[in-house]
Structure 1
């Protein structure tokens, strides 16, 4: 598995340039700040990217919205899930873990952890649902299982052998965190004003 600086930079590029702009627009409409993308494994080219659209339908989380976009493409343009990387801005909730599984992906990568979602972005539902419904404390699902393996982008950055590479990528993560903090403020304001999302 390639977790080189170039690979990790590509994942951050996709979040910054392909997902975040869609999310920036969506939070203005009252949606949460979660998004996702699908890349081809062979060349890391983007197949599709999308973002949370819960104001349209409560199940359109970022990952589900991305999967809907993927499956709306002509069949000839849809590579098999096993030939793709699935990228999520935030560690997927229980709904999205299932959606990724049922869609046939053998992997997913995420930037922000459940703890970030709860503490930095003030959206505690992922951890709460895992605990209350599945008795899974602290989001401790099986990160490697018969269906897929999940990968924390920040942990791979931490593991890079070259200190300069590590520092450069961490600066990018800090920049993305600032960008998502701003989008979170927009979402939280909409939440105060009221929206149609049941678990907001």
Structure 2
């Protein structure tokens, strides 16, 4: 599709493939067409390209401006299966320093807020229990998501969550007993809740504003 057609989709920012250095990835089809790969959610990008794929967030307007600066027509492959699949290794989040991913360009992070998976939260709660996840035994991680949409894409629709300020993320990870923080991780199906959680048992508590 043409970049102008993206405005019809109710998506604030698309996940657009880049190379490791950050430049947009452009493909040339067998028919000589110039193609840009974009996804309406991070979850769809991970399914197609794996969770090690570099990408950038861009609005339909951003992509339109980019296309108009080219000397030829640019087409967008939206939410399409990538023929090369997962080309980049998944990041080893167990080796990342806390806050290692924070700073990814995203409007919610720039506003200073991220979402973290929790046990169910009731109105008026002053303490919330964080849910930690392990990719290897003995190294629990606190997951953080750049937007509520990213959390749903990564954890599924039944995940309870709380919004916290970015500058508190390191302290929350320490209070919860996490070895580090991973941003926008897509959990496997067997790691996601399959129904609303009704257990309010509290462990690894942190205070909320």
**TM-score bucket (shorter structure):** under 0.3
Asked which structure has the greater CA Rg, the reply is 2
Q: TM-score, normalised by structure 1?
A: 0.27
Which one has a larger percent strand, Structure 1 or Structure 2?
Answer: 2
